[in-house]
Structure 1
Amino acid sequence: MVTATFRFYEELNDFLAPSLRRHEFSCACARAATAKHMIEALGVPHTEVELILVNGESVGFDHLLAEGDRVAVYPKFESVDIQPLLRVRAAPLRVTRFIADAHLGGLAQLLRLAGFDTLYDNGFPDDEIEALAASENRIVLTRDRELLKRRTITHGCYVRALKPKDQLREVFDRLDLAASARPFRLCLTCNAPLRRIAKNEVGERAPPGVLARHTQFVTCDVCRRVFWEGTHWQRMRALMDSVTHPSAHSGLTAD
């Protein structure tokens, strides 16, 4: 066994036992234990970690811990430039795509509303979430920290908020999504692209009163639902503006 000293910063403390939060503490480690092994043994999913310093030098997850090492573990940085240091992932994902677990159906719909490709099925087992995240380069969204500890999940986000709108704001803030949002581009139900449809093609898929009041429509080619700018759209528009900016793209959704 070797003994190392650990210090976790900011929101990473939420995952620790209360007695270990926001201060240095010593911990016995198995010989040949890696930084990743010990960080997760203490309760912190590796997907929540952005930077590890051992004795003041940045290291990767595979760094072997030695007697007397001092380990500092940091989450995503909001304002500090760490470009010269070694991030624990080789590169960010080029396209922001998500997969949400069974507890985050409301969040999945709101991310689709914001234009982010988000897979969701409340029947997805953890093994399938892990496989899809790896094969399709998706960020895993979950309230299950054990899921984020799975080896092949490289990008993930532990969602702390309980209500979907609060969860949306949390994910937008943590992952800096505002500039990437393209609201009202995807079907909330199917995650498929929406396309414009002529009024005379809508037929019986919208109530007669809607056809009388509105001229612009879009449809999903998977579920064939038709969407228009009704009162529900106005509420969703206000939500999108609150997480992006006042000049966010306008669009359509169902009434």
Structure 2
Amino acid sequence: MTLPDRSTVQAVGRPQFAAMLAQQGRPVIIRRTGQADVQGQAILIPVSSQSRQGGRVDQPGLELLPWKVFFSHEVQGVREPGFVLHAPPTHGQPGIVLVPTAPTVDLADQGVALMVLCSPLVDRTRVEQLVFTLPGTGTVRDKNGNPAPAPGPKLPVPARLVASQDPRIRDMVGADTADVVLVGRWGTLEKPLLKPDGLKWGMTSPLVLDGQNGTLTLKIAYPDPDLAQEMQFGARFLAIWRANS
């Protein structure tokens, strides 16, 4: 039995997939940091769990189910990692923001459709709004009457922060026992950022942790070895937090 060649598969498969997109697809926006949004159409299918593993009341588990997202072979901006997929609400379906968790594949390598596994991580990610004070011009007198640099404008920046007990990371920032060491990423998952212009290491921002007022201090950059991961999730940095006395 002779299998059809690639051109024959494309001649039949592309119109069929285009018809499926017209019937089952929904508008999506493909976003990359520093690039214009790309409008497209995709079929979004949640993947059901096939797990038969039971859980225990004292040891609850949480499973994040992926989505399969199908695109036309000609859609731009999804073949390389580093994009975020925004599907606005439509026809009674809620909006969702998806982040790829695996490389995009060309189904059967036939040039008909692309597929990528994604997860709705935005809905599960805590975002802190940090506010830094940029340097101003001139000097002012502090509470003791001594000259001090004048404060400049406020710079609000969203960031995602995760506390770390890794002794190597604590040593990197010279943390004291009272300090909370934080690994952060700039921006949100929908709009990741590289280090914002104007920020310098050593700058501080108010931050409330567990209901307690404190101060976050930027320490050093903590770059990813994978540039695609940094572009997709935002530049990584280290900071410390200390409760206000």
Q: TM-score, normalised by structure 2?
A: 0.24
Indicate the structure (1 or 2) with the bigger Cα radius of gyration: 2
Q: TM-score, normalised by structure 1?
A: 0.24
Q: Relative to total residues, which structure has the larger strand share, 1 or 2? A: 2
Q: Relative to total residues, which structure has the larger helix share, 1 or 2? A: 1
